[in-house]
Amino acid sequence: MQHSDPAPLNADPRSDDAHADRLTFFWVTAFFVAFLVVDILSQLTENARFNLDLDPFKYAIYEISSVSVIIALFWGIARAVTLATPGERSWTHVIAVHAAASFAFSAIHISAMVAIRKLAIITFYGEPYIFTDNILREFVYEYRKDVLSYSLIAFFITFGRQLAQQQRELAAAREDAKKSHRLTLKCGGRSIFVDASDVIWAKSASNYVEVKTPAAEHLARATLASIERQLGDAGANAMRVHRSWIVNADYISRIEPTGEGDVKIVMKNGAIVPGSRRYRDKLNLC
């Protein structure tokens, strides 16, 4: 028995996004700090290699001031992603919002970075810091780099939210499987609910899983491992018999050896499923 219902919506998606963003902020910070360390160490190597007359401490001030401001602006980019998430808004809206946001990001980044450098240089060196004699030229120069940093962070935020959403959906599917003894399959933007006892077999198909029931065959966006966990939670008599196959033992007609420890599993509906010797111990329980 199977049913088709709209995919459930989160009660508070803003709270979900905020939770995902906190984890993404940690990884983005780690990435930029690692980049900063490598950049400074590389510059020290260049100094020694080419006998450059560059003050390493002053160079560190320049780079740290830039990276620290970029990290601090993470939450502004997160807000822009909320206002213009790809796939949820039209592309004209997404491009317009992020173009404006990246421009503002760069302007704030440059202003704050220069302010920090001025304060640090006058404090440690007792001399003024002159950023440029041509603001337009330097803004274009910095914006080319800033738009890449902005895009990278926006990508991390979007990916982090999508990954967190998938994890919540998988957790909800497993909880539903325990209560209702059914599988939740994501098929073409819909949620298909299938009684676990009706599943004959499930087969991995690239980024999808084919799920066979007496009534139909569904192509779900999932991993075979997640389907296996749902079947286990639902109490189905299902087992992994191959790295790409799961079968319901209640639908097995017979098992025939093929040599070298592998087997051929003949289902009651006539389907032939390969069985690997790696999972032979499970088949002996049938």
- 127 in a structural domain: yes
Identify the residue whose tokens are 């935020």: 157
Domain match, 250 and 108 both: no
Report the candidate in 21, 63, 25, 28 with the shortest Cα–Cα distance to residue 42: 63
Q: Is residue 5 part of a domain?
A: no
CATH number at residue 274: 2.40.50.1020
Note if the pTM is more than 0.85. no
Q: Which one is predicted more confidently, 128 or 86?
A: 128
Q: In whole angstroms, what separates CA 115 from the centre of its chain? A: 35
Residues 222 and 161 grouped into a single domain: no
Q: Which residues pair with 209 in a beta bridge?
A: 204, 220
Domain hosting residue 30, numbered range: 10-168
Domain boundary among 140, 168, 196: 168
Q: For residues 178 and 261, which has the higher predicted lDDT (pLDDT)?
A: 178
Give me the number of domains the chain comprises: 2
pLDDT over 80 (residue 57): yes
Check if the beta carbon of residue 101 is closer than 8 Å to that of residue 80: yes
- pLDDT tops 50 at residue 67: yes
Both 45 and 126 in one domain: the answer is yes
pLDDT at position 284 is 63
* Per-residue pLDDT tens digits for 6-22: 344 445 678 889 999 99
